[in-house]
């Protein structure tokens, strides 16, 4: 027996399973969410008989990228997970169509270049390694486990009237559910009153006291009415608005200045303009307005972060592990903490494998992270796990078992794969549903989606 065989177990199999789930007609600058969303699952098996899992964004591009990694993963010892990831990076080339702009203008077609498929493999490898070492994944990251539960925010969205897209697009109707949140979440909610109702029902179910409203839908001033109403209903709550860079610098200053003391922070208020990058524009915004600024758009890799930090464009970096990697996201948390800045994570629609992964990354983030984003509340019930981590009193519970600490329900996974295979397209397209609300609607990163 050679040294390698004596060490950690060897990966014997890697499966990539694309899956889909249902969503509400959620509104954002990029349009309206379709009735479904897609993700990719990675399932690894090792020579000790363990299973490791990871989840990442959907779409054919990411699915193919994952499949192309199989020869670099199978046959390797799990303890060499860093070398495995490094070999994947070395084999990678810049994709055709990737102009390096990232998502600073929320062009959703570029999200796939910011998401890195291999982080789902990193997650599955850390799951296997944790099982081998009999340690939860968060113990393998950064300085190890910092906390057992993660403060999480209620991610509020304006929701449009799905009937307008019927029968071409059929969104779920949960109007007869006995769960007040499930009953509410597919209905139209476009006024400040209905946004407050959304927050109250979420507070009842999950205990959230902090909220983020997805903006970029109405004029900024109108969205601030919803923020004021939320602050009135939750005076102690940390309330944040994210228009995804929809406003010009001038507008952003005008809209946000009166909100000092009401908003806890503002996320990506403005984007690139007049030949200046969004990092420069957000630095000017920060000079003018006394509000902390968060981003998941202008610092999505280390090179962008270097410029953001040099310009002091942001206070809170929402370092989503699907963009930065698990090790990378925690590395960011360590740096931000050492520098007196704040870590958090951004999310897109996801299943509960990602929910468990978020829990471990946030458990290993030192300091005082901001409340974590998650879209899970819009998907809750479509569980792919036997043991989905719970959100109790506004805190996501970190799984205690080794590795990721959760188990796939393969029947549910194969149903989600069937749904995926039945879809007309696998890529996120927020324009399609928008056409039913405003005919011939086109994305414009400077116009809120319902302002045309």
For 309, the token pair is: 């930090």
Give me the 227-256 binding string for Mg ion, x by CB under 5 A, dash otherwise: ---------------x--------------
**72 vs 246, which CB is nearer to Mg ion?**
246
348 counts as binding ligand GKR under rule CB under 6 A: yes
110 counts as binding ligand GKR under rule CB under 6 A: no
CA gap 184, 191 in Å, rounded = 14
Does the annotation count 350 as an active-site position? Answer: no
CA gap 95, 257 in Å, rounded = 41
C-alpha closest to that of 281 among 318, 307, 242: 307
324 to 119, 122, 284, 305, 345: CA distances (angstroms): 8, 11, 26, 11, 10
| Helix or strand run (H / E) with residue 233 | helix 220-233
CA gap 147, 397 in Å, rounded = 10
Per the rule left: phi > 0, alpha: psi between -120 and 50, beta: everything else, 118 is alpha
Give me the 85-104 binding string for ligand GKR, x by CB under 6 A, dash otherwise: --------------------
374 counts as binding ligand GKR under rule CB under 6 A: no
**241 vs 353, which CB is nearer to Mg ion?**
241
C-alpha 341: how far from chain center: 20
**Is beta strand 11-22 parallel, antiparallel or unpaired with respect to 342-344?**
unpaired
Does the annotation count 214 as an active-site position? Answer: yes
**Is beta strand 239-242 parallel, antiparallel or unpaired with respect to 211-214?**
parallel
Q: Evaluate the omega torsion of the peptide bond into residue 167 and state whether it is cis, within 30 degrees of 0.
A: yes
**28 vs 76, which CB is nearer to ligand GKR?**
28
Query: Exactly one of 112, 131, 132, 214 is catalytic; which is it?
Result: 214
By CB under 6 A, what part of segment 223-262 binds ligand GKR? 242, 244
**104 vs 296, which CB is nearer to Mg ion?**
296
Q: How far is the CB of 373 from ligand GKR (least distance, A)?
A: 6
**51 vs 349, which CB is nearer to ligand GKR?**
349
**127 vs 268, which CB is nearer to ligand GKR?**
268
Q: How far is the CB of 232 from ligand GKR (least distance, A)?
A: 24
Give me the 285-304 binding string for ligand GKR, x by CB under 6 A, dash otherwise: -----------x--------
Indicate if the alpha-carbon torsion angle 209, 217, 108, 349 is positive or negative: positive
Give the one residue of 104, 240, 264, 296 binding Mg ion; rule: CB under 5 A. 296
Q: Which does 151 bind (CB under 5 to 8 A by kind): Mg ion, ligand GKR, none?
A: none
160 counts as binding ligand GKR under rule CB under 6 A: no
Give the one residue of 28, 50, 304, 337 binding ligand GKR; rule: CB under 6 A. 28
Cross-strand bridge partners of residue 266:
241, 293
- Asked if residues 29 and 243 have their Cβ atoms less than 8 Å apart, the reply is yes
Query: What is the maximum span of the chain, computed from C-alpha positions, in angstroms?
Result: 70
- Asked if residues 121 and 85 have their Cβ atoms less than 8 Å apart, the reply is yes
Tell me how many residues contact ligand GKR (CB under 6 A): 9
C-alpha 370: how far from chain center: 14
Q: How far is the CB of 351 from ligand GKR (least distance, A)?
A: 14
Q: How far is the CB of 153 from ligand GKR (least distance, A)?
A: 11
346 counts as binding ligand GKR under rule CB under 6 A: yes
- Asked if residues 76 and 124 have their Cβ atoms less than 8 Å apart, the reply is no
38 counts as binding ligand GKR under rule CB under 6 A: no
Indicate if the alpha-carbon torsion angle 334, 337, 339, 341 is positive or negative: positive
Query: Exactly one of 346, 350, 360, 375 is catalytic; which is it?
Result: 346
Q: Which does 104 bind (CB under 5 to 8 A by kind): ligand GKR, Mg ion, none?
A: none
Give the residues lining the site for Mg ion (CB under 5 A): 242, 267, 296
Residues annotated as catalytic (active site), given as ranges: 214, 346
Q: Which residues bind ligand GKR (CB under 6 A)?
A: 26, 28, 214, 242, 244, 296, 346-348
């Amino acid at each position: 027996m050679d040294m390698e065989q004596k060490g950690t177990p060897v990966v014997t199999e890697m499966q990539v399973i694309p899956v889909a789930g249902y969503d509400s007609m959620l509104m954002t600058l990029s349009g309206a969410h379709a009735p479904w969303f897609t993700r990719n699952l990675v399932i690894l098996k090792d020579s000790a008989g363990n299973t490791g899992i990871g989840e990442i964004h959907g779409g054919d591009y990411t699915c193919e990228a994952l499949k192309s990694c199989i020869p670099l993963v199978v046959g390797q010892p799990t303890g060499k997970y860093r070398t495995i990831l490094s070999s994947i990076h070395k084999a990678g080339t810049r994709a055709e169509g990737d102009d390096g702009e990232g998502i600073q203008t929320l062009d959703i077609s570029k999200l796939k270049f910011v998401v890195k498929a291999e982080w789902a493999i990193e997650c599955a490898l850390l799951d296997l390694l944790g099982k081998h070492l009999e340690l939860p994944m968060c113990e393998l990251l950064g300085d190890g486990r910092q906390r057992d539960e993660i403060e999480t925010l209620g991610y509020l969205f304006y929701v449009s009237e799905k009937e307008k897209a019927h029968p071409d697009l059929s969104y779920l109707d949960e109007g007869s559910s006995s769960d007040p949140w499930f009953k509410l979440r597919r209905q139209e909610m476009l006024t400040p009153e209905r946004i407050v109702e959304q927050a109250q029902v979420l507070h009842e179910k999950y205990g959230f006291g902090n909220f983020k409203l997805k903006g970029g839908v109405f004029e900024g001033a109108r969205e601030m009415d919803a923020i004021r109403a939320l602050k009135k209903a939750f005076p102690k709550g940390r309330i944040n608005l994210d228009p995804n860079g929809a406003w010009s610098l001038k507008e952003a200053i005008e809209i946000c200045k009166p909100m000092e003391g009401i908003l806890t922070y503002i996320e990506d208020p403005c984007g690139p303009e007049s030949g200046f990058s969004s990092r420069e524009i957000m630095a000017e915004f920060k000079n003018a307005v006394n509000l902390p600024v968060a981003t998941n758009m202008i610092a999505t890799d280390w090179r962008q972060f270097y410029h953001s930090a040099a310009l002091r464009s942001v206070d809170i970096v929402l370092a989503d592990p699907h963009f930065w990697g698990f090790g990378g996201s925690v590395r960011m948390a360590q740096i931000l903490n050492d520098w007196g800045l704040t870590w958090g994570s951004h999310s897109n629609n996801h299943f509960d494998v990602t929910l468990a992964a978020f829990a471990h990354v946030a458990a290993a983030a030192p300091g005082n992270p901001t409340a974590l984003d998650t879209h899970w509340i819009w998907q809750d019930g479509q569980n792919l796990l036997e043991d989905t981590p719970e959100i109790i009193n506004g805190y996501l519970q970190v799984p205690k078992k080794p590795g990721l600490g959760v188990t796939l329900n393969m029947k549910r996974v194969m149903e989600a794969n069937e749904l995926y295979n039945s879809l007309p397209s696998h890529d996120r397209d927020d324009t399609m549903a928008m056409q039913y609300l405003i005919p011939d609607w086109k994305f414009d990163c400077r116009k809120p989606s319902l302002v045309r």
